[in-house]
Amino acid sequence: MEDPEFVLRPLLAGHPDGVRDTLLATCAVVRKAAPGVTELIFLSYVVGDVFTFTGGSGTGFIHVVAYANHVNLGFFLGAELDDPKALLEGSGKKIRHIRIEASADLRRKPVRDLIDLAVEQGIAMAEMRDGIQPRSVKVSAKARLATRAQKKKTQQKKTQQKSEKKTKTAAAKKPQKKVAKRATKKVAKKARKKR
């Protein structure tokens, strides 16, 4: 099984570090609250991760999405969740979300409570359908291609940096060799004159 963070990191390469770190931290909190969960990683105009116990997106209970400058923690059946602190945003029939500005937001008890309630919803949905499926990580074709492209780009950059470093090192050594040769010639010339 793939490491979801290994898949997500290259997809988030174009995002600010804060967004990347917040999305990864949010996904880690959901994984901890829902052991055995299946993740469906996707790429569209956003990078996202859907959490489900059945392996199908139709029974997802939480989704985490990275936009250009922020992360949303979404609840597929959020309209049904008890939200005494009124954290949930959205006006659709079912879906609600919380805007996560930083990983510190995840330490707030009301946020953790909503995650726990959504996990219970996910378990209930899975039990009504095919039951809870073994943990897996599924990656959309578009996300898979983008991950490969980003890894290739990173490898090319590393190779180029190594090549540039070798060139600089070689260039730095050449003048030293010339100076050493000149010094050796001068010493030899002086020695000849003294004889």
Give the 3-state secondary structure of residue 38: strand
Q: Tokens 């330490």 sit at which residue?
A: 107
Token pair of 57, please? 């997106």
pLDDT digits (tens, 9 = 90+) for 158-194: 888 888 877 776 666 655 556 556 656 666 666 666 6
**Which pLDDT belongs to residue 182?**
64
**Which pLDDT belongs to residue 47?**
96
**Which pLDDT belongs to residue 188?**
63
**Which pLDDT belongs to residue 180?**
59
Q: With DSSP H G I counted as helix, E B as strand and the rest as coil, what are the percentages for the chain, rounded to 5?
A: 55, 15, 25
**Which pLDDT belongs to residue 195?**
60
As a whole number, the mean pLDDT across the chain is 87
Those residues with Cβ within 8 angstroms of residue 29's Cβ, 6 or more apart along the chain or in another chain: 106, 112, 115
> Which residues in the chain come in under a pLDDT of 50?
none
Q: Tokens 């967004």 sit at which residue?
A: 19
User: Where are the domains positioned within the chain?
Assistant: 4-139
